């Protein structure tokens, strides 16, 4: 299955699990486990708790996902 077949949803990283997996709270209220895509791993993009991410979910198994990108606006500190 190619990555173009995945359903893309936004979520927030809730916790970091073992073996490079993350617990993601989706904006629609569901919670899934996801791992980082190879492109993010190659570019050494760090994902931490509280980051907004774009997750690709397979239509066959909606309990697992693939973190496809991280929202770069989450790096910015709030302006006072």
> Domain limits of the chain?
3-71
Fold of 3-71: OB fold (Dihydrolipoamide Acetyltransferase, E2P) (2.40.50)
Per-residue pLDDT at 77: 43
Per-residue pLDDT at 72: 80
Per-residue pLDDT at 57: 96
Backbone angles phi, psi at 60, to 5 degrees: -90, -30
pTM for the full predicted model: 0.84
Q: Which tens digits make up the pLDDT trace of 14-66?
A: 999 999 999 999 999 999 999 999 999 999 999 999 999 999 999 999 999 99
CB atoms within 10 A of CB 56: 18
């Amino acid at each position: 299955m190619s990555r173009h077949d995945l359903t893309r949803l936004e979520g927030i990283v809730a916790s970091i699990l073992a073996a490079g997996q993350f617990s993601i709270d989706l904006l629609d209220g569901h919670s899934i486990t996801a791992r980082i895509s190879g492109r993010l791993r190659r570019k050494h993009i760090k994902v931490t708790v509280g980051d907004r991410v774009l997750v690709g979910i397979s239509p066959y198994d909606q309990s697992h996902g693939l973190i496809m990108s991280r929202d770069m606006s989450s790096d910015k500190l709030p302006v006072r």
